[in-house]
Amino acid sequence: MKVCIYGAGAIGGYLGVQLAQTDAEVSLVARGAHLEAMQQNGLKLLIGDQQRVEKVRATANPAELGVQDVVIICLKAHSITGAIDAMKPLLGSHTRIVTAVNGIPYWYFYRHGNQFEGTTLESIDPGGRQWRELGPERGIGCIVYPATELESPGVIRHIYGDKFPIGEPSGESTADVERLSKLFEAAGLKAPVLDRIRDEIWLKLWGNVCFNPISALTHATLDVICSDPATRALSKAMMLETQAIAETFGVTFRVDVERRIEGARKVGAHKTSMLQDLERGRPMEIDPLVTVVQEMGRLTGIPTPAIDAVLGLVIQRAKVAGLY
């Protein structure tokens, strides 16, 4: 199986090292100093006291790699549209695209099964380009639960987790997802095949929609956000709005809102990805994590006053920092 990881940063690099230990033909698309380090010294993964180094083919030019069986997109969600043209040489008639990104994926309303079937979302897929040019039929859902960091060019540090649940938009257990699940298992990872992948997408987004922007506005870590009465109440309000929207689309949440907040609190003094991006001067994932929920609220006619207020504030915060 030919597998290309498009965006071999912290998560993509982690996947690259793990998958390189299987019989798959793995390649990485990256850029800058990180790419140069991988090309010269291999890709190093630090897990606890252990380190693994793999010489994986890495390039900034996807056209060198040819058509792939699987392309795993590990870019920030807001970067995908800009990468479509470069990605096309990787795509053949049978290529599957694994969306290992935060938030709602471009294929969300493919084989969804209600009046929203075929809807594209402007906040995550401007002009519907991903839908048209990548193709929703190629999509395989994937939720990223591990935490990793790019410690230095060519060096990835694993913090915790090894679970990447996957699933077809249709809910079917196809040969493609079964084969992908077995590949991840061979790589020492867990990729259970879910028949309701959208439920799991929303479960992770449920926390991201509130904890990320609140952390960017307050610079607080998860334990503080979930313990302080004011930010905890605001988080809950945003989550209840999100839940109402998701349930309109047939989503089922397997835990209640208080348990979800408690789970985040127990993670401890963790900085969200949005806060990390703000501190490092990188564009923040505001649209894929927050604006998209607002947009889906508009589709369903569900008001989102708490989300609207926090979204407006975090957009202004990002604009002031030149990150939006």
What positions carry a catalytic annotation? 204
Residue 257 identity (one-letter amino acid): V
| Among 284, 246, 311, residue whose Cα is nearest residue 108 | 246
**What one-character DSSP code corresponds to residue 193?**
B
Is residue 86 exposed (0-12), middle (13-18) or buried (19+ Cβ within 10 Å)? middle
Q: How many CA atoms lie within 13 A of 80 on its CB side?
A: 33
Residue 276 sits at φ, ψ, to 5 deg, of -60, -40
Rg (CA), the chain: 19
What tokens appear for 23 in the block? 């019989």
Order of strands across the sheet that contains 147-152:
50-54, 43-47, 155-160, 147-152
